[in-house]
Amino acid sequence: MSRSLEAFPRVTFDPQVMGGKPCIRGMRVTVGMIVGLVASGRSWAEILAAYPYLEEDDIRQSLQFAAWRVSEADLPMAAAP
Q: How far is the CA of 42 from the CAs of 21, 62, 65, in angstroms?
A: 22, 14, 19
| Distance of alpha carbon 28 from alpha carbon 23, whole angstroms | 6
Give the sign of the dihedral formed by CA 39, CA 45, CA 46, CA 47. positive
pTM over 0.75, yes/no: yes
- Domains recognised in the chain with CATH numbers: 5-70 (1.10.10.10)
Q: Which residues are within 8 A (CB) of 48 and not within 5 positions of it... i.e. 6 or more apart?
A: 54, 55, 56, 59
SS3 of residue 23 by DSSP: strand
Determine contact, residues 1/68, Cβ cutoff 8 Å. Answer: yes
Q: Express each pLDDT in 27-80 by its tens digit.
A: 999 999 999 999 999 999 999 999 999 999 999 999 999 999 888 766 677 776
